[in-house]
Structure 1
Amino acid sequence: MSVSFDFTDRVALVTGASGALGSAVCEAFADAGATVAAADVVAPDDEDAHLDTGDAIDFYEGDFTDEDDVARVVSEVVDDHGRFDYLANIAGTWRGGTPVAETDADTFDFLFDVNLKTAFLASKHALPHLRDGNGSIVSVSARSSLEGGEGDGLYRASKAGVRLLTETIAEEEKGEVRANAVMPSVIDTPANREMMPDADHEKWVAPADIAETILALCSDATGVTSGAAVPVYGES
């Protein structure tokens, strides 16, 4: 059974849009008829960017760890499009390899800034606009955030924070804005393949498949779903 979505006349703001998952989410929204406001500190013409802009995708450069930048981008999106209906908090990163006792405080700051602070600031500034149309937020947590683990505890903690932030927004905005999270394990990206060349890549989940779940969580098909942490593990 195939599934399709129709987001015609809707506007989606996607953070981390130049990354492998963010660009897949932008493309999925655009293919479903939405206007996409793609936001990232990395511009599409950067050699590390995966994002292709087009008629349905407008790029907004901004650092979502900086509240002034977030406020500016959100204001520009509303000025340009008159509204927005969905926020996809995709911005995130991974760092690991050392136990807590040997990890620099700068690594803590970096992970919590990129993984959690971006989701907080984007949600904070998006919520007044999302309430106008009973909009939806979907954020990216992680399967590993469900338990402690050796060598990447700060990453896990930051992603656990994303899940708890999601649950909090769902409770506070009940009846006005839905908030859900997706929980990937290992995503099949070029960076992950380079980092783990000997892994079984066939078991990893493609960014496009996770993007479809994010669209489902924004759609009317999940109108009674809020505060959920949805597994998108595949076989990994």
Structure 2
Amino acid sequence: MARYADKVVIVTGGSKGIGRGIVTAFVENGAKVVFCARGSAAGEALEAELNPKGPGCCKFLSCDMNKEDNIQRLISFTVEQFGHIDCLVNNAGWHPPHKPTDVTGAQEFRDLLNLNLISYFLASKFALPYLRQRQGNIINVSSLVGSIGQKDAVPYVATKGAIISMTKAMAVDESRYRVRVNCLSPGNVMTPLWEELASHTADAAAAITDGENCQLLGRMGTEAECGAAAMFLAADASFCTGIDLLLSGGAELNYGFKNQTSGSK
């Protein structure tokens, strides 16, 4: 059964990884999806892959989420194509290579804030007039590390923690319009970005194995599982607003070897 038939959904950063899993889940459940990314090749390929399968459909739009006019164009394009908006999934973002705070530049931090956080704010701002008309919902994709921290990743963790807080504040404001605002925080999910980060280590295969061993379930999550979680928040979680849904395989639970002082002087 198509759980989101004829609903109109926007997914930012939808051509790869977690975004691709979310776009796929909505199309498979009957939605009309507009998704964007900076590069065109992967987005056009996903559009060509999903549309013949249905039962929903998708349209790809090249968009730079660092640019406010591009974000406005994304919202306008969706309304022109489909007449309304039922759900906005803010997902576009990046995890830079790990780097200690004292060698991280202020401009690097500002640039990441612009992409990972301010783009979420702007997309929500421009979509809200349409979401209010439909009593729709917003899903902000954050990260487990926004709640538990991560080594040598202060700017990234800061942006993801801010997304969680912004979600709660926006949920309060938008409740008067019956617009729900929720957060989805994946832990380790096997995506092209995870593979890229692993490639910056001395042993990429070992890094992936270590990543798998961080979860109680002994594996990483999948793109499809991210899509299923987003579908739950959009279609089923009708009495949930302001929540942060951890998609983590239990990574935040139990004790583990966490001593960062070993070998330090």
**Aligned CA distance change for structure 1 residues 96 and 15 (closer, same or farther; 3 Å):** same
Deviations 1:59-91 (A, max 9, x none): 111112211111111111101100110001110
Could you tell me whether the CA contact under 8 Å between 1:19 and 1:49 is conserved in 2?
Answer: no
Shift of 1:102: 1.2
Please tell me the residue identity of whatever aligns with 1:145: G
Residue 209 of structure 1 pairs with residue 206 of structure 2: no
Corresponding residue pairs, total = 230
Could you tell me whether the CA contact under 8 Å between 1:29 and 1:215 is conserved in 2?
Answer: yes
The structure that has the greater radius of gyration is 2
Residue 197 of structure 1 pairs with residue 213 of structure 2: no
Q: How does 1:74-93 map to 2 (within 5 A)?
A: 74-93=75-94
Could you tell me whether the CA contact under 8 Å between 1:42 and 1:61 is conserved in 2?
Answer: yes
Deviations 1:103-145 (A, max 9, x none): 0123202221221112111111111100011001101111111
Which residue of structure 2 aligns with residue 182 of structure 1?
A: 184
Residue 229 of structure 1 pairs with residue 237 of structure 2: no
Could you tell me whether the CA contact under 8 Å between 1:138 and 1:180 is conserved in 2?
Answer: yes
Shift of 1:149: 3.9
Shift of 1:189: 1.3
Residue 51 of structure 1 pairs with residue 46 of structure 2: yes
Could you tell me whether the CA contact under 8 Å between 1:87 and 1:137 is conserved in 2?
Answer: yes
Which residue of structure 2 aligns with residue 26 of structure 1?
A: 23
* Corresponding residue SS for 1:128: helix
Which residue of structure 2 aligns with residue 17 of structure 1?
A: 14
**Aligned CA distance change for structure 1 residues 157 and 50 (closer, same or farther; 3 Å):** farther
Please tell me the residue identity of whatever aligns with 1:227: G
**Aligned CA distance change for structure 1 residues 99 and 234 (closer, same or farther; 3 Å):** same
Compare 14-23 and 106-115 and name the one that shifted more.
Answer: 106-115
What TM-score, normalized by structure 2, do the two folds share?
Answer: 0.81
* Corresponding residue SS for 2:127: helix
Q: How many percent identity over aligned positions?
A: 28
Which residue of structure 2 aligns with residue 42 of structure 1?
A: 39
Compare 59-68 and 140-149 and name the one that shifted more.
Answer: 140-149
Which residue of structure 2 aligns with residue 154 of structure 1?
A: 155
Could you tell me whether the CA contact under 8 Å between 2:171 and 2:179 is conserved in 1?
Answer: yes
Shift of 1:96: 3.9
Over the residues paired in the alignment, what is the CA RMSD in angstroms? 1.9
